[in-house]
Structures are given as structure tokens and as C-alpha cells.
Amino acid sequence: MTPYYEKSGITIYHGDCREVLPRLSAESVDVVIADPPYAIDNKFGTQVGRPGYGNRSLQFAWDKAEGVAEGVAEAMRLCKAPFAAFCFVGLPTCELVRRAMLEAGLIVKMAAWAKECPAPALPGNWWPSAFELALYGYQSGAFFADVRPTRRNWWVHDSYRFGQPGKVAHPTQKPLSLIAYIMSAMAKPGSIILDPFMGSGTTLRAAKDAGCRAIGIEIEERYAEIAARRLEQSVIEWGDEKQRTDLQSSVLEAMGNQESPISQAELF
């Protein structure tokens, strides 16, 4: 199986994760971080923004639940125990992912990303979505570095709006700072991260910045190409420097007595 991209411990496969994952080695992954389709399936056209602010696509006919449960389950099959997984979900896919995590032997809990500046309400709409759900799961003994007393299961991060630095041509791009925080709490530097629904490569970019290795799978070649280009960038797209510094301290504290000393430069 020939990778679409492979460099410095980061590998991209272009294809359906249900076909790619069975060809990867078992017990070759430490953590799964994924953002599969939410099965929204809306067909509401395009919201035209003010001049200079871009337009917002409301066409999600491509957003199907097909393959979500299988992809998440197969990804976790590749993990070596004890492991953890984090997966964004929509309401229609929440139970599918929860069941897959439970069957993999994980303790499953909920989390949420609250959007700092959510999209405006549409005429005739009730309360527009200002947050996105996630499920995370872990086996007893899995690595977890965020020992801050203020840690919690919901996080406020801005979304990538039109014209913002780091925005790419993907309709559901997650904030790099959010993924980097989640990864740094769940994975040691050098860990192998798997994202079976890679999209524009945010998980892989965060892995590269954190000194982790990563495998990403994407069915759309145009997004695989975007991800490959992002991986070639040398600039870290951090959005919250204080959060980065706080998490560095947390990771260093958690790992203080494990293996050899690790410098901040190696972590981030």
C-alpha cells in the first residue's frame, strides 16, 4: 500500500478508511483522534455574507453516517493497550461511536467544543449551533497529562472563519489549537496518532508540532493534498499562547518521573 504522503513520521493514505485500516498492523497505534462525518445531511444552499466576509455553505448532502462506526471500531483495533480515543460526533452518530468505544473496552465520557464566535442564526431557525459534541474514551492506565485542577470537558475555541489565518478549503475544519491541546493531554511525544477521517489534516499538523508520529486517512484526494501542503509549512498556527504554556507545564509535571527528562522544545 503506497502512502499519498510520507515524511518525518507523518503518513497520509488516500482512500476509504474501511479499506485502508485492515491493511495496517495491529497494536501499531497509541491514540485515536478523529472527526468523522456528523450525518447532518442538510441541503440549505448558501448563506451570503456581508461584503468582504465571504459566504457560508449550508450544503451537507455529503455528510453521511455510512462507515463511521466501522472506521472508528477498526481504528481502535489497531491500538495497543492501554489506549485512549477522542472523536467528534453529531447527534445521529453519537450512539454509533459510543457503542464502538464501549465494545473496544473503553470508559466513555462526553466533551464539547464551544465556539467563541458561532455562525449567525438563519431566518426561521431556532437556536443555531454554537458548540460541537465529542466522545472520549480510555482504558484504565492510559496516559493522561492534563493534571491541572481547572481542567474540564468543554473548551472554548474560535472556529476558522472566512479570511482567518490557517483557514483552508474544508467545510468542517477544526481549530488547530483545540486539537493540539487534546493531543498533548492524551499522547506522549513520539506516540503514534491515528486519524481515520483526516479531512484537511489538522490532527496530523498538530502531531508534527508536538513531536508525535501520525497516520491519516482521507477519502477525498483534494483534502489529502491540502493536508500534505499544511504539513510542509514550518509555522505553528497556535491561537492561544497562554493555553499552550499552561499545557506545557501540565505535561512536564505529569511526565516528570517518567523515562528521561523531556525539554519544552521537544514537547512543542
Domains, in order of start, for the chain: 5-119+128-267 (3.40.50.150)
Please give the pLDDT value at position 268.
Answer: 32
Please give the pLDDT value at position 161.
Answer: 59
Please give the pLDDT value at position 38.
Answer: 81
Tens digit of pLDDT per residue, the chain (268 long)?
Answer: 899 999 999 999 999 999 999 999 999 999 999 999 987 765 555 555 556 555 555 555 555 678 899 999 999 999 999 999 999 999 999 999 999 999 999 999 999 999 887 777 777 778 888 899 999 999 999 999 999 999 999 999 877 655 566 666 556 678 888 999 999 999 999 999 999 999 989 999 999 999 999 999 999 999 999 999 999 987 454 444 455 455 555 544 544 444 433 333 333 3
Please give the pLDDT value at position 163.
Answer: 58
Angle at which helices 202-210 and 221-232 pack, to 10 degrees? Answer: 20
Residues in the chain, how many? Answer: 268
Amino acid at residue number 100:
A
Task: Give me the phi and psi of 193, to 5 degrees please.
Answer: -100, 140
Please give the pLDDT value at position 249.
Answer: 56
Please give the pLDDT value at position 259.
Answer: 42
Please give the pLDDT value at position 46.
Answer: 58
Please give the pLDDT value at position 116.
Answer: 83
Please give the pLDDT value at position 25.
Answer: 94
**Radius of gyration of the chain, Cα coordinates, nearest whole angstrom:** 18
pTM of the model: 0.81
Q: Return the bridge partners of 193, or none.
A: 31, 214
